Chains A and B, each alone.
Chain A
Amino acid sequence: MSPDHSLIKKTKDLLPRLIKINHATVDLKDRLEQTVLLIVEAFEVAFCGFFSLQTGGDHFILEAASDYSHRKEGRCRLDIKEENLRQAIQKKRPLIIAEWSNDFPKEYWQKIAGYEPRSFLGIPVSDENVTYGALVLLHDRPRAWVQEEVNLLDLASQEMAGMLRSTDVLLPSEERIVETLARENAGMVRELSTLYKISGHLMTTVSVDEIGKTVIKAITGDEGLGFDRAVICLMDEQEEVLKEVWRGEKGEESSARDIIIPLNKDGGALARAVQERVPITINANSDPVLSKIWFEGLDCADCAVVPIIAKYKVMGVIVVDSFCNNRAITKENVCVISMLANHTGLALDNARLYTFLDRTNKELVEARGLLAEAEKLAAMGEMASTLAHEIRNPLVSIGGLARRAIKVVNGDNGGKRYLEVIVDEVGRLEKTLNELLDYAQEPEESYAKKDLNHIVEECLELMHREFEEASITVKKDLKSIPLIWCDERQIKHTLFNILLNARQAMPGGGAIRVSSSVEEDDAGGYVTCTIKDTGGGIPEASLHNIFNPFFTTKKEGSGLGLAISYRIVSHHGGKIEVENEPGHGVAFSVKLPMNPEPRGHNVYKPKNKIKKQKLE
């Protein structure tokens, strides 16, 4: 190949690329560095550098070099005092050394290149008014510098002069450090103030969900840290896995997907970040778990995986990336996200503590209620036992002897009628006493799987005649419901009490609607039997009392029916709900849990105080 041809090729290659570099938006130093690299490549020389001529014109500073490996300091600040080059530049002429001779000092150049240079080419970088410095090419072998090559490099140097002119003057290095620092500072201040705002927000909420959403927004939003995507996974301590909880893109929160990550080697970088408690920067494509965290099959970029740690405990991880512009994650990025992760950890910990406190408080209130109820029952148990002995014996004697007296009284002289009244009244007192004792005593339980619909049907059957006599119509709407664990006798007692109340509420007739249904929930759900009447409802003032023992609105009632019913249903782990429409009617819903063993373990059972002695 003739020198002309290779020159044309070099020209073709070099100039358009130079012009492209010149118009790129990278900063001046980058542009200079790219230029010298381009020249090394095009001219196949060992070294190329740009030296700026410093104020006063007595020394140079290496501003950009194709190779820094032989310089101890990171920055190019080695001053060279090179008279030959300086003179050449001032005359705006190239300095060409095809083969080095002894009258030309080489130690400076050796230091810069790291080897002994054998040929040299210096081209001034200047325009009409200003001399900016020199472009220097070094080669490790003697090399003829063809005039066309020198001309081409002259063109390159003019292009460089253009770069330098457009940036006004090349700032002295110290000033440039300050400028870079100022820029970095501005960025840090912006990030810090964002962090400050976020942490302020995080510390004012105790809702775990709000914390997660705020963090997602802070990472991906325009006002925030400016990443494209973020996912937060939290630890499930019982199962020892990470679960995705929140995700978002560009400030918009999207719903988290059902992703579970094991904390072993199958968990990839996420598990590693949790186990080693360090942030990890990794390309999502090289980690199967991460590419699953992002939408599979879509773009993956460099991710930062940062553990959320609070009080020495890993609570989860934050994963971020910038998939839109494929920007790499820098150390500073990781630093900022780690700070955010720390705040998140504290906020989550706070929220957990608050939730715990709140729950404990509720449990305490509930326990206090149960205790009060238990005390009431214990007192009643004691009273019942006393009543039983003090009242039942005389009642038995009175009633029993009155019955005997009826047999021996002759004729109908009125005495017999009195005795009959005594027997009836004693019967009523005994019934009340039995109810009271039923309430005060621990019921005998006999649980089995039963069909609530069947129990309802049996109760209605028992009440059939009574309803008919009272002109009460019964409408049934019994849905197919699963079997439940219950004490059939007790549940029958409960439903019977409610049906009896309904009948008594409608002395002039009416309608009863009995329905059953299933209600699913997290705890296993309930089967419900609802009994609704048209008996005018319960006066508002009485409503809060209806489950209290001895409260009654009826002339003939012990006030224990609903109290007993309530206790039975509580023992079953269920509840009774009342929907009252004063003036219209009332609906009682008995809800019994569907989970296998709903024995009301947390319900206090009063202990009988009388000592029992067993036969050995």
Chain B
Amino acid sequence: MEESKKILVVDDEESIHLLYREELEEEGYQVFSATNGEEALEIFGSNPIDLVILDINMPGMDGIEVLRQLKAQKPSLPVILSTAYSEYKHDLGSWASDDYIVKSSSLDELKTSIRKRLG
């Protein structure tokens, strides 16, 4: 059996983790959860992560800094920015993330984006 793809979800909201984990595991992915930037980098350093879903606004190290460090370690890593507020959308290009999604109670858009990137 093919080993399932590993997705790291970085968000400071516990309830988001609960939702994302259930939904994504249902899709057959293995889900890792981090509630802040430091934790995310730690998990990324010790697990072969295939894709990262990254919230931007977090206490402490913000999502953009996490993105910078992740891409510095592995430029080919797909990262989907996920945020409550679409104001960063203009800067998508300069941040070199792979997609940008505004959080919604329907995860259809997110799932489509993941499938596109992980095949």
Contacts and interface: CB of A to CB of B under 8 A. Distances in A.
B19 A608 contact: no
Interface in A381-435: 384-385, 388-389, 392-404, 423, 426-427, 430, 434
Interface string B6-35: 000000010110110011000000000000
Nearest to A391: B84
Contacts of A395: 105
A213 to B, nearest CB: 56
Interface residues of B, number: 31
A400 B19 contact: yes
B104 A396 contact: yes
Interface string A595-616: 0000000000000101011111
A430 B65 CA distance: 28
Interface string A428-452: 0010001001000100100000000
A613 B64 contact: yes
A401 B88 CA distance: 26
A340 B19 CA distance: 87
Dominant SS at the B interface?
Answer: helix
Contact of A393 (B22, B71, B86, B103): B103
Contact of A437 (B16, B22, B71, B86): B86
Chain A CB count within 10 A is highest, among B19, B65, B67, B95, for B19
A396 B68 contact: no
Contact of B106 (A398, A399, A401, A610): A399
B104 to A, nearest CB: 6
B19 to A, nearest CB: 4
A444 B84 contact: no
Contact of B87 (A396, A441, A613): A441
B90 interface: yes
Contacts of B64: 612-615
Given A385-B87, A426-B105, A396 B16 contact: yes
Contact of A396 (B57, B62, B89, B105): B105
Given A441-B86, A610-B87, A396 B95 contact: no
B105 A427 contact: yes
Chain A contact-residue range equals: 20 to 34
A1 to B, nearest CB: 113
Contacts of A384: 85
A153 B67 CA distance: 125
A437 to B, nearest CB: 6
B106 A403 contact: yes
Given A393-B13, A393-B16, A404-B19, A430 B104 contact: yes
B23 A404 contact: yes
Nearest to B64: A613
A397 B62 CA distance: 21
A97 B22 CA distance: 148
B118 interface: no
Contacts of B106: 399-400, 403, 427
B59 to A, nearest CB: 11
B68 A615 contact: yes
Given A393-B16, A614-B94, A430 B22 contact: no
15 contacts: A385-B85, A389-B85, A393-B15, A393-B84, A397-B105, A400-B19, A400-B23, A401-B15, A401-B19, A403-B106, A437-B85, A612-B88, A615-B68, A615-B71, A616-B68
Given A403-B105, A616-B68, 4 more contacts: A397-B16, A400-B23, A423-B105, A615-B67
Which A-B residue pairs are the 8 nearest by beta carbons? A399-B105, A397-B15, A388-B85, A392-B84, A400-B19, A388-B84, A400-B105, A396-B103
